[in-house]
Amino acid sequence: MKQILINSFFIVFLIQLGVAQNIKGKIIDAATGESIPYANIKVNESENLVSNGEGYFTLSENNSQDETLLTVSYLGYVNQQLTVAELKKYDYSIKLTPGVFQLNDVAVSNIKPNPYEIMANVKANLSRNYTTGEKGSKEMFFYRTSNYFNPSIIDVEINKSTGFSKQALSKVNNDLQGFSKKLISHPPLSFTDILCNYYSVKTKKADKFVFTSKLAVLKATVLKNEGESTSLDDLEKTAMDMMLQHLDSTKYYRVKSGFFGSRDTISLRKDFNRKKKTGVNIEIKNQLTATKSNLNSFMYQNNLLKNKRFDFIQKPELYDYTFEGTTYTNQNEFAYVLTFKPRRSKAMYVGKLYISETDYAVLRTDYVLDEGEKLHNFNMKFLLGIKVSENVSKGTIIYKKRAEDDNYYMQYAATETGNYFYLNRPLKLIELTSGEKDVLALDFKIEANNRNKTEFLNMSRTEASVAAIEKIKEQDFKFITIKSYDPKIWKDYNAIEPLQEMKQFKAIN
């Protein structure tokens, strides 16, 4: 009897363990078998997920029950609804059927719409379709950033120092060379994941609208090598600390590069860097404040009304447009499909737009810099030893209609930006004193590429009153540092399935 009870316990335990596993699925094209990235998966008609760039998605343990209902939609494909039990039956693959039609298949008239008339209507309706409403909301965001720093050249050598002994100078040069070789052989890479509730409302006070937002972080992780950073500011600080560690910490220094001097003062005194020029303490941003600032900035940068990057929507006169046909939306309505490319020299992007036939809202945009284009370019390489260019800018952004006012909000975004920079200049640190000065002189040369990827998903959206938002008390949080990606971390929550590069990353201590 005792053995029967033990066996029964283990059977029940194994069953529970099986039920508790996260479910992972893939969305593919039924005709070609190719993966479909950025497809929308609605879970039990309440929470949104999206397939990653490889077509995969993962359900939380709570949503892995057989009866969980999934509604899968993607522009250009017929919607599909199925349960988790059916997903298992289909070997965890969801095949979507293409549903792209030429206009003469669905309309009485055989006349193709004029793409420039469509874009004129898009521009005329931008304010109506994308204005932030005055009703308060509670939204659940999943926000992932991936940072890459890839140096090809880093040469730093101190060639003169009145504050260093010969032995100390030799040591710091060796330290700098070791630091440089490590950066080149193991380029810094980091991933951060944040799941949060975001509360916002726009209220009118004294004839002016005031925007208020509050943030509650549910979970946040960072995956990177211990003590490593992909922030250029942090890397600069690390190198500077190596150079200054042997200097007198009670003194102050001014930076000079070639003919150019800086008014900024450098000191190793801990109390000095906590003060402004006015002598008032600088408010050090906590993690919550920085995260909310980053989120607000990201949403602003992807606002079709605000960001000049979207000139292919705001200034259609700069581009050539081609009408590709119409397609079904996830609301079983029709959308125009247009491709675009530069017409004039000021235009820089190529891509595709999906535009609602009913209200001319942009439902989705895919864009990338045209070959050879750069957003910003400063080239004084031979005169000043400086070259900087923003040579990567691309993204996929999907918009969804708000239930309360029929306006649109950003439901999903996958963007990437990147810069190339080259710096080859002499540098001096000169002591601020009226007498004999300490001088630190060095040659500095660096060539590198820096990239940033961001994924954003609005998982759910509900109304919230002004009073309820005012009661929310924000609390700071700390990132959970992980050495490798572990899906169990997100077992209680839905999250964006990471790409292979993140899964394969292993932190090195």
Q: What is the pLDDT of residues 25-54, one digit of tens each?
A: 999 999 899 999 999 999 988 888 999 989
Q: Which residue has the higher pLDDT, 458 or 187?
A: 458
Q: Which residue has the higher pLDDT, 390 or 171?
A: 390
Regarding whether 330 and 250 lie in a shared domain, the answer is yes
Residue 411 CA to residue 84 CA, distance in Å, equals 24
Given a cut of 60, whether residue 118 has pLDDT beyond it is yes
Residue 139 domain-assigned? Answer: yes
Tens digits of per-residue pLDDT, 299-312? 989 988 888 889 99
pLDDT of residue 13: 36
Regarding whether 198 and 67 lie in a shared domain, the answer is no
Given a cut of 80, whether residue 237 has pLDDT beyond it is no
pLDDT of residue 262: 54
pLDDT of residue 231: 54
**495 pLDDT tier (thresholds 50, 70, 90):** confident
pLDDT of residue 283: 38
Residue 333 domain-assigned? Answer: yes
Tens digits of per-residue pLDDT, 153-175? 888 777 777 766 778 778 878 88
Residue 155 CA to residue 115 CA, distance in Å, equals 52
Residue 105 domain-assigned? Answer: no
Regarding whether 140 and 61 lie in a shared domain, the answer is no
Regarding whether 159 and 230 lie in a shared domain, the answer is yes
Q: Which amino acid, 280?
A: V
Regarding whether 132 and 215 lie in a shared domain, the answer is yes
Residue 338 domain-assigned? Answer: yes
pLDDT of residue 224: 85
Residue range(s) defining the domain that contains residue 193: 128-478
Structure tokens at 21: 């596993």
Regarding whether 389 and 262 lie in a shared domain, the answer is yes
Tell me the CATH number at 52: 2.60.40.1120
Tens digits of per-residue pLDDT, 126-137? 999 998 777 889
The CA-atom distances, in angstroms, between 83 and each of 4, 52, 93, 469 are 35, 20, 12, 35
pLDDT of residue 246: 56
pLDDT of residue 411: 92
Residue 103 domain-assigned? Answer: no
Residue 177 domain-assigned? Answer: yes
Counting the structural domains of the chain, the total is 2
Residue 116 domain-assigned? Answer: no
Please choose, from the candidates 85, 99, 90, 98, the residue with its C-alpha nearest in 3D space to the C-alpha of residue 26.
90
Regarding whether 255 and 352 lie in a shared domain, the answer is yes
Regarding whether 324 and 277 lie in a shared domain, the answer is yes
Given a cut of 70, whether residue 103 has pLDDT beyond it is no
pLDDT of residue 101: 52
Regarding whether 137 and 33 lie in a shared domain, the answer is no
Mean pLDDT of 178-207: 86
Regarding whether 365 and 444 lie in a shared domain, the answer is yes
Regarding whether 340 and 381 lie in a shared domain, the answer is yes
Regarding whether 267 and 192 lie in a shared domain, the answer is yes
Could you list the beta-strand ranges (E) of 293-407: 319-328, 334-342, 349-356, 362-369, 376-380, 386-401
